[in-house]
Every structure is written in structure tokens, then in C-alpha cells.
């Protein structure tokens, strides 16, 4: 046992470098253009804000939590994505869930947010048992059926 310990430590150390890391990013598609937005761009964005929201998870009591994220319209503007001439947005999640938003919904102030932090902690991926890494929150939809967990793609049409 004593002999293999250093070997196990060495293997663990090497694994830290070669283990595939989860690539955390969001794809934004408009026409032929595809923009891959990294997690750091969103995490460090100057326009992020926090707000309270009531979470209604099936089988659980509603709880008030604090989310941190960026308003969708501000995210698009900062990426120079023109959304003035679109009709709808399709938001897809890594588990196949998807919803369609009307353009008017993202024009509403303080309504549609791409969030990444809940109660001060980065949201974990589905694989790690979380709602993240990104969750779309529609504040004007208090029943949260359209709050997409694990957002991976935003399609503007």
C-alpha cells in the first residue's frame, strides 16, 4: 500500500490536466452567423444584475432565491447582435427542452435574463445536478414553465 500511494497521487495529478473539462459556452445563431459566447464573457459582463425570484420546482415548496444574470437585450447589444429586425427567439437546452419567445418579450425591460448564479453560487450543469450552467428566467412568467434550465443555444429569426 505504501508503495503504490505515490503512484496513485501521481496518476491523480496527471488526470487533473488531461480530464476533459466541460466546455461552458452558449451559441447564438442569426442567419448564417454563429457566435460562441464563453462563460467568462457572461460571468464578467459589466451589465450583470441580481434580482429575487420565486422558484417553483416540482414536488417542492416555492422558495425565494436570488439570481444573477444579464438581460438578454443587453447581452445582444454588447455582442453587436442586431435584434431589431427579428420576430422570434428559440432557446434550446442540452436536454432537448426548448421555448420560443416573441421579440416583444425581450424588449420588455427587466423581463428576460440569462442567469448563471443562484444565491451567490455559479449554477452547476445538469450532469452535476444543477439548473445551469445557464438558466433563462422570464420574470413576467411567475409559474416558471418557460424558465429554461441548461440553455445551450439561442436562435434569432
Ligand X SMILES: Nc1nc2c(c(=O)[nH]1)N[C@H]1C(S)=C(S)[C@@H](COP(=O)(O)O)O[C@H]1N2
The three cell numbers locating residue 14: 496527471
Q: Whose Cβ is closer to Mo ion: residue 64's or residue 145's?
A: 145
Residue 118 contact among Mo ion, ligand X, none, beta carbon within 5 to 8 Å by kind:
none
Phi, psi at 28, each rounded to 5°:
-115, 120
The residue whose grid cell reads 425591460 is 109
Asked whether position 129 contacts ligand X by CB under 6 A, the answer is: no
Nearest to 132, CA basis, from 16, 42, 46: 42
Find out whether the peptide bond into 133 is cis, omega within 30 degrees of 0. yes
57 binds, among ligand X, Mo ion, none (CB under 5 to 8 A by kind): ligand X
Stretch that binds ligand X, among 43-51, 61-69, 72-80, 93-101 (CB under 6 A): 93-101
Phi, psi of 20 (to 5 degrees): -65, 125
Contact positions toward ligand X, by CB under 6 A? Answer: 57-58, 93, 95, 97, 144-145, 147-150
Contact positions toward Mo ion, by CB under 5 A? Answer: 145
Amino acid at each position: 500500500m505504501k508503495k503504490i500511494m505515490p503512484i496513485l497521487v501521481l496518476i491523480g495529478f496527471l488526470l487533473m490536466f488531461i480530464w476533459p473539462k466541460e466546455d461552458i459556452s452558449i451559441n447564438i445563431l442569426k442567419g448564417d452567423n454563429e457566435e460562441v459566447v464563453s462563460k467568462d464573457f457572461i460571468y464578467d459582463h459589466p451589465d450583470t444584475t441580481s434580482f429575487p425570484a420565486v422558484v417553483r420546482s416540482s414536488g417542492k415548496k416555492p422558495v425565494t432565491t436570488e439570481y444573477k444574470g444579464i438581460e438578454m437585450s443587453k447581452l445582444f447589444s454588447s455582442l453587436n447582435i442586431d435584434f431589431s429586425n427579428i420576430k422570434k427567439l428559440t432557446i434550446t437546452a442540452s436536454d432537448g427542452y426548448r421555448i420560443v419567445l416573441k421579440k416583444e418579450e425581450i424588449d420588455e425591460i427587466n423581463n428576460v435574463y440569462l442567469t448563471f448564479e443562484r444565491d451567490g453560487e455559479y449554477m452547476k450543469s445538469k450532469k452535476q445536478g444543477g439548473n445551469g450552467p445557464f438558466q433563462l428566467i422570464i420574470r413576467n412568467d411567475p409559474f416558471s414553465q418557460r424558465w429554461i434550465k441548461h440553455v445551450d443555444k439561442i436562435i434569432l429569426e
